[in-house]
Amino acid sequence: MENKAVVLLSGGMDSSTLLYYAKTQHDEIHALSFDYGQRHRKELNAAKAIAKSLNVSIKILQLPVEIFKHGGPLVDPTIDVPKQEEDKQALTVVPFRNSFFLLFAAAYARQIDAKYVYIGACGDDQRSYPDCRPHFFEAFQQMINAQDEDIIIKYPFVYKSKKEIVQLGTELGVPWELTWTCYRGEEVACGECDACVERLLAFKEANLNDPLPYRKKPW
Amino acid sequence: MENKAVVLLSGGMDSSTLLYYAKTQHDEIHALSFDYGQRHRKELNAAKAIAKSLNVSIKILQLPVEIFKHGGPLVDPTIDVPKQEEDKQALTVVPFRNSFFLLFAAAYARQIDAKYVYIGACGDDQRSYPDCRPHFFEAFQQMINAQDEDIIIKYPFVYKSKKEIVQLGTELGVPWELTWTCYRGEEVACGECDACVERLLAFKEANLNDPLPYRKKPW
């Protein structure tokens, strides 16, 4: 079916906006999430809630956790999540994460006969994460097409800032209170990790209010 | 460490020869195998036996089986494995199989600080499997290098015939009786499926004896 898409959904700000965006582009969308031992497992509940808010099916795939064991603080509980001010975002790189996500999404798309795979990498992610850059997505598309000419990878936010995503998401009606961004998977978002600070900054720049409670706001 | 390699090992003829070959090229090699719900699960025992015969470590990763559910007769017990004479090898394509194997191998290489990843795809596989072609491996290498410049994918058998692999493996001392090729995971190799026939043909062309017992030999 031409007009069917798989959307990678983490339950964060970008991918939730992506799901709402893809819903405007396709007749039928299917969310795909991953359990890869991430510390911020609360995002899986957020992903489910976001999918439900759009009445979209969601599949959660369990990845072999051991392969991400040395993936830094996002998956290793013995390493502290750095505060944003420590400027250690490079530490939160999980090797080949987007490659795994996209490959499983492509296989899922093949299985349910979908043509499109959406990933919500945004412009602000490019500095720290090589697998969020257009060059990587182009190379990934080539690799897929070397064996399957039908599947198309879509990364519509790759030149958008977090501010623009908050604006778009708000226009599309994303229920921000259901999303989860904090890298620490605690009761309440910490407001101190890189992910929290970026999110709060995006809302601030967009002159919008983030309805999520925070343990400590940076301003 | 420069001279360290991960070798994809299925326990079949090609990858067993590959392991023995890689052992002559690197100080330290590590075998990696996958449990993806394949019908011919006996190959996992063969992989273990082959790794043991070289005193090499082996890691078996469990893949989320559901993603391969519509992967044809190799993973779906409700579909019969075709006989070689039926010329239906295209049916035994598991979508993106080598992509998954290589990506997990790259992540494993990153984890144990190895630079090389070996895959045993051979020339005879190219007709039916797009992900066994040099073009695919080149595209995969580009995709990896877009995020990690260090890891090198090696596919030394890509222009070799099965006959040449049997010859090389025999020279290197591969214990053929420990390997497993048959797509049907029964007590004794069937001698009728595509994999069995190809194997027996390779031994015949090389004028060598396959020590493995077969239920029924095609000649």
Q: What total number of domains does chain B contain?
A: 1
Query: Is A150 among the domain residues?
Result: yes
- pLDDT tens sequence across B87-100: 554 444 578 999 99
The answer to whether residue B115 is domain-embedded is: yes
> Which of A131, A147, A150, A155 is the best substitution to test chain B (most B C-beta atoms within 10 A)?
A147
Chain B residue numbers with beta carbons less than 8 Å from the beta carbon of A107 are: 67-68, 95-96, 100
Q: Which amino acid is at B5?
A: A
A93 touching chain B per CB within 8 A: no
- pLDDT of residue A105 exceeding 60, the answer is yes
* Mean pLDDT in residue range A75-95: 56
pLDDT > 90 fraction of chain B, expressed in percent and rounded: 71
A79 vs A20, residue with greater confidence: A20
- Averaged pLDDT for residues B185-198: 91
The answer to whether the CB atoms of A131 and B139 lie below 8 A apart is: no
pLDDT at B38: 77
- Which among A70, A131, A143 is the nearest to B111, CB-wise? A70
Q: Do B96 and A111 touch (CB under 8 A)?
A: no
pLDDT of residue A142: 98
Q: How far is A107 from chain B (nearest CA, A)?
A: 7
Residue B217 in any domain: the answer is no
Residue A215 lies in a domain: no
Does A111 contact B95 at a Cβ distance shorter than 8 Å?
yes
Task: Determine if residue B206 is left, alpha or beta; phi over 0 gives left, psi from -120 to 50 gives alpha, anything else beta.
Answer: alpha
Query: A146 touching B, CB under 8 A?
Result: yes
Q: How confident is the model at residue A124 (pLDDT cuts 50, 70, 90)?
A: confident
Nearest Cβ partner of B107 from A96, A106, A148?
A: A96
Nearest residue of B to residue A109, measured between CA atoms: B67
Using CA atoms, how far residue A23 sits from A2, A49, A167, A172, B191, in Å, is 14, 16, 17, 10, 51
**Taking the alpha carbons of A47, A49, A51, A54 in that order, is the dihedral positive or negative?**
negative
pLDDT digits (tens, 9 = 90+) for B6-42: 999 999 999 999 999 999 999 999 999 999 887 777 8
Q: Is residue A211 part of a domain?
A: no
Whether ipTM tops 0.85, in short, is yes
Q: How far is B78 from chain A, CA to nearest CA, in Å?
A: 17
- Check residues A190 and B84 and name the one with the higher pLDDT: A190
Contacting A residues, span 4-33, partner chain B, CB-CB under 8 Å: none
Average pLDDT on B35-51 reads 88
Q: Spell out which residues of chain B touch residue A68, defining contact as CB-CB under 8 Å.
A: 107
- Residue A141's pLDDT is 98
* Full DSSP string of chain B: -TTEEEEE--SSHHHHHHHHHHHTT-SEEEEEEEES--S-THHHHHHHHHHHHTT-EEEEEEP-GGGGTTS-TTT-TTSPPPBGGG--GGGGPPTTHHHHHHHHHHHHHHHHT--EEE----GGGTTT-GGGSHHHHHHHHHHHHTT-SS-EEE-TTTT--HHHHHHHHHHHT--GGG----SS-SSSB-S-BHHHHHHHHHHHHTT----S-BSS---
Is position A99 within any domain?
Answer: yes
Kindly report the nearest CA distance between residue B2 and chain A, in angstroms: 19
Which of the four pLDDT bands, split at 50, 70 and 90, describes residue B139? Answer: very high
> A17: domain range?
4-205
Residue B212 falls within a domain, yes or no?
A: no
Q: From the list B63, B96, B146, which residue is nearest A136 (CB)?
A: B146
A72 near B CB under 8 A: no
Contact of B118 with chain A, judged by CB distance below 8 Å, is answered with no
In angstroms, rounded to a whole number, what is the distance separating the alpha carbons of residues A155 and A84?
26
> What's the average model confidence in pLDDT over B206-217?
95
pLDDT at A89: 47
Mean model confidence pLDDT for chain B: 89
For A33-42, B79-88, B135-144, which range has the lowest pLDDT when averaged over its residues?
A: B79-88
B104 in contact with chain A, both atoms CB, cutoff 8 A: yes
The residues, any chain, with a CB within 8 Å of residue B98's CB and separated by 6 or more, are B119, B121, B129, B131, B132, B136
- DSSP track, A84-101: GGG--GGGGPPTTHHHHH
CATH number at residue B35: 3.40.50.620
Residue A91 has pLDDT above 50, yes or no: no
CA B84 to chain centre: 19
Q: Which of B34, B99, B112 to mutate to test binding with chain A, by most A CBs within 10 Å of its CB?
A: B99
Does some domain include residue B213? Answer: no
Q: What is the pLDDT of residue B86?
A: 56
Please, which residues bridge with residue A8 across strands?
A32
Angle between helices A162-172 and A13-25 (to 10 degrees): 50
On whether any CB of chain B is under 8 Å from the CB of A95, the answer is yes
> What pLDDT score does B84 carry?
61
Residue of B nearest to A129 (CA): B147
Rounded to an integer, the average pLDDT of B188-197 is 93
